[in-house]
Each structure stands twice: as structure tokens, then as C-alpha cells.
Copies of this chain bind each other. A is one copy, B any other.
Amino acid sequence: MKYESVTIKDIALKLNLSTSTVSRALRGSYEISDKTKKLVEDYAKKINYHPNPIALSLKERRSHTIGIVVPEIANNFFSQAINGIESIAYGSGYHVSISQSHESFDRELIIVQHMASRSIDGLLISVSSETKDSSYLKSLHDRGMPIVFFDRIIDEIDTFKVVCDNFKGAYDATTHLIKQGFKNIGHITSSAHLFITRKRLEGYKKALADHKLLYKESLVKHCDHGGMDVEEVKKAVNELFNAKDKPDAILSAGDRITTVMISVIKNYKSINKDIAYLGFSNSELTDMFSPSLTAVCQPAFEMGKVATELLIKLIESKRPIKEFETKIMESKIVIKESSIKKR
């Protein structure tokens, strides 16, 4: 079955005009008489003519479409960011094309390449936890594709970036736990090579140091699939609590890692239920957890908006932009029950 649509040619034929005249009439060119314009416009409306965007894309070599690549849409941070992106994109006449890498590098590569060849005008991407090699993005960028990174950024590629203050987020969270009286704080986080992972780890370390607590590598566990694989989180939790030196509180990085961690903790009989935890999360549901979750919440919607504004600036700029900035936005820590020391 094939979907048939009406073209400029149909109009030209019917009205005994050339396609060029019809085209110009429809775009309101000054060189077409009002009479002809009216004729064409009326008939176009009557038969419900819409220009074929595929043909336009081919001709103009742009699609008025922004590509979005995120690890996972079933993640509040990303779905909120997407909403922010859409709010700006639609307002500026762009459509968006959303794809998920599912934290897989291979899939990410395929998706981005497909998008590039489908003439997206620009790319908004938060890379997968597996993405160590960013050369494919580098080369795309070098060939002129406007790219803006958000959240999971690639530091080596020189373009606009939008992150939240991961260092401060982790620092504040850790400090909060320390002030509650916890002395042995574990950290479950994402792939070690991710920029945000490094920043969060730095914040965590700095808070420990500032409060004269020893940093112990054994208390930090990495989940290379960002929590997509429940087993890796289970393993991390296991290792933490089966060690001689057990943590009394845990800081987790990332929406998914946080929720999986909580469910793992809940289901482990051997774990002291007094364990405190605090996670990076944008879920609206954490209030309903028991205990309710203290979380570092990122301004996802806002980040999506800002990233999109920057991208559109890149796309629509007449001359190549050389000066790039990295927008750092504030995350905020919402204190609930899970991080409070029981006495």
C-alpha cells in the first residue's frame, strides 16, 4: 500500500500553469500577479496541498529536524530534558527525532549515523555509558554537524555543552551525609570514563577530605551499564556489604542506579535496614518510597531548553562559531527521610 499525496505538479496541471509559477505563488513571491496567487492558493487549499518535506530536505539540504539521542527515555531525567528540548524546538519551527542508545555504544553509533544521513540539522546528545571512543562524533562535528552535548558530555569535543554542577551536587550530598553523622560513605556510580562520573567522584572525595574523612577506593563501585543491568548493581551492593569495612550510607549517581540500588537493598535480608542512602534522581515518585528518598535533582527541563537554544544558535548562525561555552546549571538536593540518621 502506498500513501499518495498531492504535489505542485497536480496544481500546475489543473490550472494550466508551470510548476515554477505555482511554487512562487504559494510562497507569495512578489513577481506573481495577485490574481494567479489567489487562484493557486485557493486550489491548493481545496485539495489540501502540503509541500513534501522530503523533497525540500533534498533541495535545501536541511530538514528542520533536531536529532535527540539519549541512553533511555524511561528515565525521568531524560524524559524531562526531552520535554524541555521540545518546548524550545517546536517554538522555533523545528521537529525532533528521538532515539535511545540503551546505553549501548554500537546502537548509539548506528543511530547517530542514520540521523546524520537523514539530514538532521543538528544533534543533541547525552552519550551512553559505554561510549569511550568519541571519534565518530568528532569527525561528524568536524564535517560541520552542529552538536550540543548535555548531561553526559564529551569533554574533548569543542562545542557547546550543558551540564549541571555535578561536582557540587555530589559534594553537597556527601557533606549532608557527613553532617548526619555517617562516617563510612559508599558511592555507587556509572562508568569511570564518563565526565559526569569523574566530576561526581571528585565532589564526593572533596567532601570527605574537607571533613577529614579518609577516601577508600573499596567504597566506590562502578556500574558500566549505568544501571541498565540489574546484576551489576546487585554485584556492587553485594561487594559493598560483604566487605569487612561496610558502609553506613551510600551515595548513588544516576536515576536508574538509584532505584535499582534501593530495590536491591530492600530485598537483601543481610543488609542493616538502617542504612542511609541518597541518590541522584529526577523521579517524581521518590516521595512515595519508604523511606522517602533524599535526592540530588537536576534541572532537566531547563537543561533541555538551554541545550536546544544553543543548538539552534549553532544551526542558524551565518558564520562558523568558534567560541563555545559550557553552561553549568545548579542541581538541588531535596532532603527527605532516606538520608536521615536514626538515633
Q: Which residues of A contact B (CB under 8 A)?
A: 1-5, 50-55, 57-58, 61-63, 73-74, 76, 79-80, 82-83, 86, 95-100, 113-114, 116-119, 140, 143-146, 259, 262-263, 266, 283-285, 287-290, 314-315, 317, 320
Contacts and interface: CB of A to CB of B under 8 A. Distances in A.
Contacts of A288: 259, 262-263, 266, 288-290
Contact of A259 (B50, B74, B285): B285
A48 to B, nearest CB: 9
Contacts of A97: 97-98
A298 to B, nearest CB: 15
Copies in the assembly, this chain? 2
Given A262-B288, A289-B289, 10 more contacts: A1-B317, A3-B116, A5-B117, A52-B58, A73-B74, A74-B79, A263-B287, A285-B289, A288-B290, A290-B290
Contact of A4 (B80, B144, B317): B144
A294 B75 CA distance: 22
Contacts of A98: 73, 97-99
A314 B287 CA distance: 44
B114 A86 contact: no
A97 B288 CA distance: 33
Contacts of A145: 1, 3
- For A55, A73, A114, A320, the residue with the greatest tally of chain B CB atoms inside 10 Å of its CB is A73
A236 B284 CA distance: 20
A199 to B, nearest CB: 26
14 contacts: A2-B62, A3-B119, A3-B143, A5-B116, A52-B119, A54-B118, A55-B58, A74-B79, A74-B83, A259-B288, A266-B288, A285-B285, A288-B289, A289-B289
Given A53-B118, A80-B74, A288-B262, A315 B5 contact: no
A3 B55 contact: no
B283 A285 contact: yes
A213 B290 CA distance: 34
B1 A117 contact: no
Contact of A143 (B4, B74, B82): B4
A146 B1 CA distance: 7
Contacts of A283: 285
A179 to B, nearest CB: 25
Nearest to A287: B263
